Amino acid sequence: MKRLIFIAIFSMAFADGYSQTYNHSQLIGTKWITTWGLRRIPGSTKTNLGFSQYVGTLEFTNSEMKESYYKEYSYIRPPKEHNLRPNKYKTSLADYNRPYYLSPSVPTTFDSLKVGDSRCSGNYVVFKSEFNKTEHRQIATLNDSVLILGSYHYRRIK
């Protein structure tokens, strides 16, 4: 039993120590989208069927990480009293433009000199939160179609 626990701990340490390193240039100009919370709109019926979901987008420029969150409403046949066309409607919830950089390790402070530095690489995206607090998210996966940043799963749209 002790041997099994040792092997499990050693395997986790080995896998974490050899995680992928990403370059700043891999993020610049990309835009990502994630959705969650798909729900049927209360009061909708078979003839006036509607759904809502939350949508988040994430776009990287040279020095800013732009996050937008909104709620999207989709009606297959909208109720006549709402005077809507069959389409999607959005309600904006929040927009953030945050300075960011990549780091090979978890930082304790935000280093503003690294923002926009194309030589930065690592597997952590470090940014300032809306409360001016240093935050980070680990890049678990980054390829042409998927970005897994912390616990957020994005698909590429640009």
pLDDT digits (tens, 9 = 90+) for 38-63: 888 777 666 667 788 999 999 999 99
Q: Report the SS3 class of residue 10.
A: helix
Domain that holds residue 132: 19-156
**Average confidence score pLDDT of the chain:** 83
Q: Is 106 within the bounds of a domain? A: yes
Q: Is 12 within the bounds of a domain? A: no
Note the pLDDT of residue 15. Answer: 47
Q: Is 44 within the bounds of a domain? A: yes
Q: Is 64 within the bounds of a domain? A: yes
In this structure, of 12-21, 60-69, 86-95, the range with the lowest mean pLDDT score is 12-21
pTM above 0.85, yes or no: no
How many Cβ atoms sit within 10 Å of the Cβ of residue 53? 15
Token readout for 119 is 């030589």
Domains in the chain, number: 1
pLDDT reading at 3 higher than 60:
no
How many Cβ atoms sit within 10 Å of the Cβ of residue 67? 17
pLDDT reading at 14 higher than 50:
no
pLDDT reading at 78 higher than 90:
no
Rounded to whole angstroms, the Cα distance separating 90 from 69 reads 10
Q: Are 75 and 50 in contact (CB under 8 A)?
A: yes
Q: Is 10 within the bounds of a domain? A: no
Q: Is 122 within the bounds of a domain? A: yes
What confidence tens digit (pLDDT) does each residue in 104-135 have?
999 989 999 999 998 999 999 999 988 889 99
pLDDT reading at 13 higher than 50:
no
Q: Is 76 within the bounds of a domain? A: yes
Q: Is 4 within the bounds of a domain? A: no
